[in-house]
Amino acid sequence: MAETTTIEWTRNDDGTPGRTWNPVTGCTKISAGCDNCYAETIAERFRGHAAFPKGFDVQIRTTKVNDPLTWRKPTRIFVNSMSDLFHNEVDQHWIADIFAVMAAARRHTFQLLTKRHARMRSLLNDPVWIDEVRTRATGKGLPADQWQWPLPNLWLGVSVENQQWADIRVPALAQTPAAVRFLSCEPLLGPVDVSEWLGDTDSDEPGMYRDGIHWVITGGESGRKARPAHPDWFRSIRDQCAAAGVAYFHKQNGEWTSRDAVDAEAKASAWDEKRVLYVHPADGRTQTHGQWGINDHLEGWACVQRVGKKNAGRELEGRTHDAFPATA
């Protein structure tokens, strides 16, 4: 498993690549965003090999747990790119140990993303579990007077692929103590309105942190079976972040690009009806060109073309969006 990563949102401020850290590997699918999970594809491809002896079965990598304590140069670290730390097969004492490493390795900034929002919220609000993290952290070298909760160097995020999961996971994140809370809307599979959670909120719900969500990442799906996104979905989230003054990062368009974005020269050579789909703005369903009936109308549907992840690029209406949270 490579430990440096090309993931754009893990990049350091000086432009150098960040790292991944996988003290746990393996997972099970939980929602539509998991359908084409890249971690599963890689782990199952190498099942039985040294890197993934048990494929995508959930496994604690005991020899990896303390790795960040040995990395001298401060860096951003994406935690568990090959798993979900809050999976129910990961013992909570191991999760406490992994949090203790993050507490003790204060020079690094950790980015932890989950689809298991409920277990995350429950553990991170549990005083007994938090005390276990503190005890383990001091055991790993953190001076007792430097203990802080929430961990100042941990950015905590939930995945949001559509409105259904936004409505469930985002409030759970807003009820979880974290120095930075972020959303990863990738792969984005439908329109999402998260405006009520962005930045300072006036929610009266019990347990809600009023500083809300600090950072949003969007991205289209990549890979062989990638589903296309409607460009309006990205634009809408970009605009919601701008209105709330929240940092916005557009990671990639995915394998597809809207026909408007294919420049004139490429259109002439690369336009290929077999690679074209129409994407519905409200629910993401797709149709091929041949499926259009004579009475169908195109209003609101996006015409997208499969051009490959590299060609689809990272631009949204002619510019990139690379903001990191202000508290970083």
| Cβ-based nearer residue to ligand SF4, 159 or 236 | 159
Residue choice 4, 16, 29, 54 for contact with ligand SF4 (CB under 6 A): 29
Identify each DSSP E strand in the chain by its residue range.
19-21, 24-25, 59-60, 76-79, 109-114, 154-159, 180-185, 215-219, 247-252, 256-258, 276-279, 286-288, 302-306
Number of H helices, E strands in the chain: 9, 13
What are the b/e assignments for 41-57, b being 16+ CB within 10 Å? Answer: ebbeeeeeeeebeebbe
Considering only residues 279-298, where is the footprint of ligand SF4 by CB under 6 A? none
Q: Quick one: DSSP state of residue 274?
A: G
In the complex, the smallest distance separating the C-beta of residue 31 from ligand SF4, rounded to whole angstroms, is: 7
40 contributes a contact to ligand SF4 by CB under 6 A: yes
Contact with ligand SF4 (CB under 6 A): which of 24, 27, 133, 154? 27
Cα 209 to Cα 282: distance, rounded to the nearest angstrom: 30
264 vs 68: CA distance, rounded Å: 48
- Give the shortest CB-3-to-ligand SF4 separation in angstroms: 18
Nearer to ligand SF4, 37 or 217 (CB): 37
Separation CA 281–CA 299 (nearest Å): 9
Region near ligand SF4 per CB under 6 A, out of 22-30, 45-53, 99-107, 281-289: 22-30
161 binds ligand SF4 per the rule CB under 6 A: no
Tell me the window of 1-9, 33-41, 137-145, 285-293 that interacts with ligand SF4 (CB under 6 A).
33-41
| Out of 1, 7, 32, 34, the residue judged to bind ligand SF4 by CB under 6 A | 34
Q: Other C-beta atoms within 10 Å of 302: how many?
A: 22
Stretch that binds ligand SF4, among 23-31, 96-104, 178-186, 215-223 (CB under 6 A): 23-31
Count of residues that interact with ligand SF4, criterion CB under 6 A:
10
Q: Is 112 in the site for ligand SF4 (CB under 6 A)?
A: no
Nearest to ligand SF4 of 39, 216 (CB atom): 39
DSSP letters, 15-42, are S---EEE-SEEB----SGGGTT-HHHHH
Exposure of 35 by Cβ count < 10 A (0-12 exposed, 13-18 middle, 19+ buried)? middle
Of the candidates 166, 217, 224, which has an alpha carbon nearest to the alpha carbon of residue 196?
A: 166
Q: Which of 108, 115, 134, 169 binds ligand SF4 (CB under 6 A)?
A: 115
What is the spatial distance between Cα 186 and Cα 234, in angstroms, rounded to a whole number? Answer: 10
Of the candidate residues 1, 7, 11, 30, the single one contacting ligand SF4 (CB under 6 A) = 30
x/- site string to ligand SF4, residues 84 to 103, per CB under 6 A?
Answer: x-------------------
Q: Distance between CA atoms of 107 and 113, rounded to whole angstroms? A: 20
Q: Point out which residues bind ligand SF4 (CB under 6 A).
A: 27, 29-30, 34, 37, 39-40, 83-84, 115
